[in-house]
Amino acid sequence: MGQFQRSKSAAGKARRLGYVEPQAMRSYWMICLSAAAGFAGPGGMTPSLGADAVEVRYQEEIRPILQRFCYDCHGETKQRAGLSLQAYADASAARKDRKTWESVLRVLRAGEMPPEGRPQLSDAQRSQVARWIESELFPVDCSRPDPGRVTIRRLNRVEYNNTIRDLTGVDYQPAEGFPADDAGYGFDNIGDVLSLSPLLLEKYLAAAEEVVARVLASPEAKRRIFTSEPKPEERLTCAREILGRFARRAWRRPVAPEDLGRLSTLVKRALDAGDGFEAAVGVGLQAVLVSPHFLFRGELQEEPDNPRIVRPVDEYALASRMSYFLWSSMPDEELFRLAERGELRRNLEAQTRRMLGDPRARALSEHFAGQWLQLRNLSLVAPDPQTFPGFDEGLRLAMRRETELLFETILREDRSVLDLLTADYTFVNERLARHYGLGGVAGPEFRRVSLAGTPRRGVLTHASVLTITSNPTRTSPVKRGKWVLENLLAAPPPPPPPEVPPLNESAAAAANASLRQRLEQHRDNPMCASCHAQMDPIGFGLEHFDGIGAYRERDGVFPVDAAGKLTSGEIFQGAGELSALLATVKREEFARCVAERLLTYALGRGLEHYDQCALNQITAGATRAGHRFSAFVLEVVKSVPFQMRRGEGERH
């Protein structure tokens, strides 16, 4: 074991593992890094009309509607939310700014614009504009789907730790000392942002050495990898067999003979230098663990630069897509066996359900739900100790665990995802029950309790969500409304325009007016009104809960007013009615949001306009199945973007 504990420089370790040899490990890196530029591009199809016809239609049919209903607030004079639709003088200008028109399409579909009190489009006019945006700015042909292309993905820290655990059986978290992973589109498994720095490479080299040292020191771990001590003349043959089995699992695919030959060469050098059999094989194991085939999830394909070639990913790649989606770890032996036989696709539903029932599926609550619902931000919040003296680390941990347990219950019992909004039960320990004013709960263990007779329903009344959407000294209806729009309706408001005046937080202002009154005064500023009209009413509905989620009837000296009104016109009183509206009137938007977040997380890339076909299929399929969580997962796994990929470049 001492051999693996000697201090070496990263360069020395790399040299020992063969990195300086042009045709050895370097070739692995070149394969992976050359593919790293290939990610999902624009795709789609060309407009259905010729350029002249498109322009005529825009000028004669669409622009007059925009002029009548939109330019007063989004024109040259007024630019609410920083948007001027009048600036799009022709169809080609509109086509260059798809992001803006995607937002326009969303608010048109949801009936949120024009706002109440302004002239309204007829249903026919609303449909006419929406159809034009869809057909000319976001043209897709669902009979000729575009699966996009995922950037080659490095294992993030969670995936690295879990893969080491399942590969070696060693209970060790080597990635705890790695640099933090960047996040994109709300998740830290997005290929485009998972870069590889020199520091991280050095960490990988050190981690591989430490992992192998721990394997050789653990009888149980050694039994997973080594069979028996070979005779001297059989050592290289035995080493080759060991490395072949290990690399197949670590690299999540069959091992090419030339790769196995290079690994065997490293072992032979160590044996020739006088190392013992296990130590020499350990050098080969380290090489496996620092290979790009282990560190990256790459999917090589024929004609990688031809965007017109769309092919299913092979079954080994499909097994990895499934396991890292549902377990944040490598495939198990059952997935490997099915992939080897070419039988995984024909057993897709059964395997998906098996994986959801496995304890490793808890990764979905910790890493998918934890990022989707922003629970990870709980570790960063710092409520003011004078304002909230009851907040402590025990309460912080209990808050997060409550929400994770609700998600885990929906997953394990295959309940409707609408339970996230309307559940009349929750999970508390004594610390959290005391915070909520619930009696009859003692001890640190969490247990399921009924919320009947209480004002709490679903995640909107969980202290986790209420705390991460508050300021240190008070609630924030703005943050709470924004959180609902972003994370439950996939309808984030635009960023605030520059030089927006801050809310008056002076002691005198707070003493003379409630927070609601001050925010209403703030909305009198035209620069603030349009966005705050979307966010604030939602946040007001949660005002019965203070900055750390405790129930209250008064905010200081002012009685709480928890009435609100959505921009689409629905009125509610308090969190319970708001949650019910989201689960009924806004059910389609919520279901689509779940589908969007799951697909983004499963693919490891942001979604493009050509993913609308897949999103429609996922949402419709899950809706038919009563919005059960397994239905969303199955529809994602069966979807074209998950099952297939195309070559890089624009697809015409």
C-alpha torsion sign, points 482, 486, 489, 490: positive
Identify the three-state secondary structure at position 290.
Answer: helix
Average pLDDT over residues 447-466: 97
pLDDT value, residue 5: 36
For residue 213, what pLDDT is reported? 97
What's the CA gap between 157 and 137, in Å, rounded? 38
Q: Which two tokens stand for residue 424?
A: 């009349």
355: its two tokens = 């994986």
> pTM of the predicted model, to two decimals?
0.85
Q: Which two tokens stand for residue 258?
A: 């030339």
The answer to whether 229 touches 237, Cβ cutoff 8 Å, is: no
Instruction: Give the C-alpha separation, 604 to 627, whole Å.
Output: 23
Give the helix, strand, coil percentages of the chain, each rounded to 5.
Answer: 55, 5, 35
In this prediction, residue 650 has a pLDDT band, given cuts at 50, 70 and 90, of: low
For residue 508, what pLDDT band results from cuts at 50, 70 and 90? Answer: low
Please, what's the largest Cα pairwise distance for the chain?
90
Please give the mean pLDDT across all residues of the chain. 86
pLDDT confidence tier of residue 210, bands split at 50, 70 and 90: very high
Would you state the pLDDT for residue 641?
96
What is the percent of the chain with per-residue pLDDT over 90, rounded to a whole number?
Answer: 63
Confidence at 251, pLDDT banded by 50, 70, 90: very high
Q: Which of 397, 395, 398, 406 is nearest to 449 (CA)?
A: 406
- Distance between CA atoms of residues 630 and 636, nearest Å: 10
406-433 in b/e form (b: 16+ CB < 10 A) is bbbbbbbebbbbbbbbbbeebbbbbbbb
Locate 354 and state its tokens: 């098996």
On whether the CB atoms of residues 86 and 63 are closer than 8 A, the answer is no
Q: What local confidence, expressed as pLDDT, does residue 602 receive?
A: 98
152: enclosing H helix or E strand: none
Q: Which two tokens stand for residue 184?
A: 């994109």
Map tokens 């927006």 to a residue.
Answer: 500
Q: Which of 298-302, 490-494, 564-568, 648-652 has the lowest mean pLDDT?
A: 648-652
Radius of gyration of the chain (CA): 28
The answer to whether residue 50 scores a pLDDT higher than 60 is no
Residue whose entry in the numeric block shows the structure tokens 């999103």: 615
For the purposes of burial, counting CB atoms within 10 Å of the CB of 393, is it exposed (0-12), middle (13-18) or buried (19 or more)?
A: exposed
pLDDT at 110: 67
Q: Where are the domains of the chain?
A: 2-32+153-297, 51-137, 367-494+513-584
Crossing angle between the packed helical segments 198-217 and 277-290, to the nearest 10 degrees: 150
Greater pLDDT, 524 or 356? 356
Provide CB contacts within 8 A for 333, sequence distance 6+: none
**CA gap 81, 493 in Å, rounded:** 9
Average pLDDT over residues 187-200: 94
- Strand bridging mode 554-555 / 296-297: unpaired
| More confident of the two residues 513 and 302 | 513
The whole-angstrom separation of Cα 184 and Cα 166 is 27
Alpha-carbon gap, residue 134 to 102, rounded angstroms: 9
Mean pLDDT calculated for residue range 608-617: 92
Peptide bond into 444 cis (omega under 30): no
Three-class SS of residue 366? helix
Answer whether 387's CB lies under 8 Å from 547's CB.
Answer: yes
Q: Provide mean pLDDT across the span 97-116.
A: 75
CB 611 within 8 A of CB 600: no
Is a pLDDT exceeding 90 seen at residue 522? Answer: no
Supply 608's token pair: 């493009």
49: which 2 tokens? 């009309």
> Does residue 438 carry a pLDDT above 90?
yes
Q: Please count the other Cβ atoms lying within 10 Å of the Cβ belonging to residue 474.
A: 18
Output the six-digit token pair for 77.
């004079």
Residue with tokens 């040899």: 21
- Report how far residue 492's alpha carbon sits from residue 535's, in angstroms, rounded to the nearest whole number: 10
Helix (H) / strand (E) element for 154: namely strand 153-154
Span 145-193, pLDDT tens digits: 888 888 889 999 999 999 999 999 998 999 999 999 999 999 999 999 9
Alpha-carbon gap, residue 209 to 221, rounded angstroms: 15
237 Rama sector, left if φ>0, alpha if ψ -120 to 50, beta otherwise: alpha
pLDDT tens track for 470-484:
999 999 999 999 999
pLDDT at 37: 31
The partner residues of 628 in beta bridges, in order of sequence, read 416
Distance between CA 215 and CA 164 in Å, rounded? 11
CB proximity list for 195: less than 8 A, separation 6 or greater? 154, 182
Provide the token pair at 274.
């006088």
- Note whether 288 and 263 are within 8 A (CB): yes
Report d(CA 643, CA 441) in Å as an integer: 47
What does the pLDDT read at residue 633? 98
Helix (H) or strand (E) holding 164: helix 157-168
